[in-house]
Amino acid sequence: MIRVGVVGGTGYTGVELLRLLLCHPDVTVSVITSRSEAGRRLDDLFPSLLGTCELAFTDPAQADYSSCDVVFFATPHNVAMREVPTLLDQGIRVVDLSADFRLKDVGVWEQWYGETHRSPALCAEAVYGLPETHREAIRAARLVACPGCYPTAVQLGFLPLLEAGIIDTTQLIASCGSGVSGAGRQAKLGSLLTEAGESLAAYGVAGHRHLPEMEQGLSGMAAQPVQLTFVPHLVPMSRGIHATLFAQLNTKGADLQALFEKRFAHEPSVAVLPAGAFPATRNVRGANICQLAVAQPQGRDTVVVMSVIDNLVKGAAGQAVQAMNLMLDQPEMAGLEGIALAP
């Protein structure tokens, strides 16, 4: 039985992670931490988990992870980078869902997050937790940096095109919409129902923290520098990301449908839709699946890729469990076999 700890189990990502772990056939959750909710039972804060767990939250300062095989960090940035080194020294493997170890260039991280990184050496060691591109490295990793939600949808959508070298890498565009849960569980004016409901709004157009992560990953796929224009939007729904991706083809006659089907034929958490079908966020709600569709409108030289995920599952907690399974020699989709919710 795999024993796990969860640091920061009170946010939307944290409770989604706990939901998945508590359903995993070979996992026991041993420790759940929270400063604000220390001493409170998990199922009291989240009645949806009633009957699945009798644990109470522990203050992080008093948490004992010594019995854990792996510890997840479902925390804001700058928490994991302070605490991960001690866990690694104890031989405990770590999956970090925050942004602390996603960027290899520490200077870029400090520029975008506005502070000094406390564990810069670990940025070079951390394995980026996108199984579709780093599966074997994840298996051997002791520290996995789980990708962001927008980066997951965007990178999976561009992946076959960049690997095939058939698009202009200097003119990539990603127009993406995210459900409100992507903003976190904190009380924020812009996330209130009366503020976000019945409205569609762009944000972070001048620069979003996920941009350097996406350009880093896309450049690795292309084996050359990539330039991405990224415009995120807030969508009045609780879950889901829809990424519409645009690129200019530099090769004529490519069978794009076949390219995508071949690349993802053996990927358990990616589904390529039939030609002419388009994905919708409702079709992946609650599932660890990315649905993709590719089109070449009017037969011109612009390729359009549509990529949808549940931002809390494949975009966060589900992908983290997928990484844990690889790290601990479990079936990759163990605990993640759930079918999307409909309606």
Question: So what's the architecture of 149-311 in CATH?
Answer: 2-Layer Sandwich (3.30)
Q: Are 332 and 130 in contact (CB under 8 A)?
A: no
Q: Are 181 and 135 in contact (CB under 8 A)?
A: no
Amino acid letter for position 175: S
Rounded mean pLDDT of 195-220?
Answer: 95
Alpha-carbon gap, residue 51 to 33, rounded angstroms: 19
Q: In this predicted model, what pLDDT tens digit does every residue of 96-150 receive, in sequence order?
A: 999 999 999 999 999 999 999 999 999 999 999 999 999 999 999 999 999 999 9
Which listed CATH number (3.40.190.10, 1.10.760.10, 3.40.50.150, 3.40.50.720) goes with 2-146+314-327? 3.40.50.720
Q: Under DSSP, is residue 311 helix (H, G, I), strand (E, B) or coil?
A: coil
What H or E segment, with its residue span, contains residue 154? helix 149-164
- Residues with a known catalytic role: 149
Alpha-carbon gap, residue 137 to 90, rounded angstroms: 21
Q: What is the pTM of this model?
A: 0.96
pLDDT band for position 303 (cuts 50, 70, 90): very high
Q: With 80 as the cut, is the pLDDT of residue 180 above it?
A: yes
pLDDT band for position 182 (cuts 50, 70, 90): confident
State both tokens at 16: 């989604």
Domain ranges of the chain: 2-146+314-327, 149-311
Please, what sign has the CA dihedral across residues 209, 249, 273, 336?
A: negative
Q: Are 249 and 302 in contact (CB under 8 A)?
A: yes
Rounded mean pLDDT of 315-329?
Answer: 98
**Segments of 152-268 assigned E as strands:** 172-178, 201-202, 228-234, 241-248
For 41, which DSSP code? B
Q: What share of the chain is helix, strand, coil (3-state, %, to 5)?
A: 35, 20, 45
Burial class, 194, CB count within 10 angstroms (exposed 0-12 / middle 13-18 / buried 19+): exposed
β-strands 302-309, 143-145 pairing: unpaired
- Number of Cα atoms under 13 Å in the Cβ half of residue 299: 1
For 330, which DSSP code? -
